[in-house]
A and B are shown apart, each in its own frame.
Chain A
């Protein structure tokens, strides 16, 4: 039996205490124990980027990281990006307006990776966006719209955008 470990870390700005088994991955703890199912599991081997989250600002595949490793760190998932229910980040808004997704399964990972890019480089070139986003696969869009969304968000700046009232909530 795998040993149990008590963890304390900051999850989307909230102090979080959990007990995890040594063989649990970060994605298992996020999805199954904490109910944050926004982070998706695609390939399970660190290739597709669907499970991308930020650990201390760095993009990490949550399917590769043993959960015990996040003890004492700051973890941000897709659920933690929007400042409140009435706003979206400019990147989230750009993905909607520029068709940066279809089915939406890879989208949380795409947005987490692109968030890290814009934090590091607020005005990337098209080539820099493509290079950075290489680790996030999408089977729907053909990538053009994803690149377009990220460039549009860079143009718009980092201020949150009011959420449109239209749509399912």
Chain B
């Protein structure tokens, strides 16, 4: 019985080399922001400039006119979906 207990204890007494260590100290670790895919688009948020207001409409004409803009998503695009705090 004691023999089977010795092995796990021995593991606990040894410092363990971090498996992801070399990747993180050499810049080799890939995070989400490091990934580039062919044809990848960039996203930018526009938030309300009023701290406490009801959004009744979003005029996206100016944004749509900018060269290279592929899509504009607003609350209207998504429609009525219960998410976040509305679930509570």
* Interfacial residues, chain A to chain B (CB-CB below 8 A): 31-32, 35-41, 77-79, 81-82, 88, 92-93, 95-97, 101, 104-105, 107-108, 111, 163-164, 166-169
Asked whether B25 lies within 8 Å of A92 as measured between CB atoms, the reply is yes
Whether B57 is near chain A, meaning CB under 8 Å from some CB there, is no
Minimum-distance CB pairs A-B, first 9: A38-B27, A96-B21, A104-B24, A78-B27, A37-B34, A92-B25, A167-B19, A79-B27, A166-B17
Partner of B26, one of A39, A81, A101, A164: A81
Q: Using A37-B30, A37-B34, A105-B31 as known contacts, say yes or no to A88 and B20 having CB atoms under 8 A apart.
A: no
- Smallest CB–CB gap between A61 and chain B, Å? 16
Asked whether B26 lies within 8 Å of A168 as measured between CB atoms, the reply is no
Residues of chain A within 8 A (CB-CB) of B34 are: 31, 37
Q: Using A41-B33, A105-B31 as known contacts, say yes or no to A78 and B26 having CB atoms under 8 A apart.
A: yes
Size category of the binding interface on chain B: 10 to 19
Asked whether A168 lies within 8 Å of B27 as measured between CB atoms, the reply is no
A-B contact pairs, 5 of them (CB 8 A): A36-B27, A38-B28, A93-B25, A96-B25, A168-B20
Decide if the interface of chain A is mainly helix, strand, loop or mixed. Answer: loop
Distance of A105 Cα from B17 Cα, bound (Å) = 19
Asked whether A164 lies within 8 Å of B22 as measured between CB atoms, the reply is yes
- Smallest CB–CB gap between B11 and chain A, Å? 14
Asked whether A88 lies within 8 Å of B25 as measured between CB atoms, the reply is yes
Q: Using A37-B34, A41-B33, A105-B31 as known contacts, say yes or no to A166 and B26 having CB atoms under 8 A apart.
A: no
Asked whether B33 lies within 8 Å of A167 as measured between CB atoms, the reply is no
